[in-house]
Homo-oligomer: A and B are copies of this chain.
Amino acid sequence: MTTNRLEAFSDGVFAIAITLLVLELNVPAGDHLWQQLKDEWPSFAAFFVSFWVIGIIWVNHHGVLDHLGRADRGVLYLNLLLLLTVIFIPFPTALLAEHLKSGEDETLAAVVYSGAFVAMSVAYGILWTYITHRRERLGVRLTDDEVRRISRRFMVGNPVYVIQLIVAFVSPALVLVINAALAVYYMVVGMQEPEADTEPGDQ
């Protein structure tokens, strides 16, 4: 199968998952709006962080699929696994926001939230490993060195997720901050890339 429709479908899922986040924001009615908006800060913070994380995963996902010359069934199913974890994000996002607001069972909510991102990271790693192990079959033109370099960069996220899980027990709100920091890290790392694969806009 060509990678066109795989990309189109994935882009659609990413675009919808990222946009559905706004539906988890409660629209405060009635009086004392200013106070109500302030009380909603965990929702806004969680919306903001999840938006950037999904956005950056989309950018990186792009980078991975761009290397593919063709897709086999394995890529399709492992990509679906990744999309499953992406689609799920609005749920733990709303869960954490809800419990940061009420202050009840915040730790568990933060653990679920962290766990969702760990799952996404793992799914991403599996897809990447599958692709790099079948480079010839999938028409991937990456040298061993490039694969190692990109893999090393990915792996930075793993210990951070472990830290995040531990932090969930200490300060649930801090989990959002660490997740945001990780997003910034991937953003900065991405921008320093040589972008050798940038070509004039085909179409």
Which A residues are closer than 8 A to B by beta carbons? 1-5, 7-9, 11-25, 27-34, 37, 48, 51-52, 55-56, 58-59, 62-63, 66, 68-74, 76-77, 80, 83-84, 87-88, 90-91, 94-95, 98-99, 102, 104-105, 108-109, 112, 139, 187, 190-191, 193, 195, 197-203
Are B201 and A105 neighbours in the complex by a CB distance under 8 Å? no
Give Cα A74–Cα B106 distance, bound, in whole angstroms. Answer: 36
Are B87 and A73 neighbours in the complex by a CB distance under 8 Å? no
Give Cα A197–Cα B5 distance, bound, in whole angstroms. Answer: 14
Q: 8 nearest interchain CB pairs?
A: A12-B15, A33-B105, A16-B19, A55-B80, A3-B201, A27-B94, A73-B191, A13-B15
Q: Which residues of B contact A197 (CB under 8 A)?
A: 1
Q: How far is the CB of A102 from chain B (nearest CB, A)?
A: 6
State the number of copies, please. Answer: 4
Are A95 and B203 neighbours in the complex by a CB distance under 8 Å? no
Q: Which residues of B contact A76 (CB under 8 A)?
A: 59
Are A84 and B51 neighbours in the complex by a CB distance under 8 Å? yes
Q: Which residues of B contact A87 (CB under 8 A)?
A: 18-19, 21-22, 51
Query: Could you name 10 residue pairs across A and B whose Cβ atoms are closer than 8 Å?
Result: A1-B198, A13-B15, A16-B16, A31-B105, A33-B105, A37-B108, A52-B80, A70-B199, A139-B200, A203-B203
Give Cα A18–Cα B58 distance, bound, in whole angstroms. Answer: 17
Are A73 and B195 neighbours in the complex by a CB distance under 8 Å? yes
Are B16 and A15 neighbours in the complex by a CB distance under 8 Å? yes
Q: Which residues of B contact A28 (CB under 8 A)?
A: 95, 98
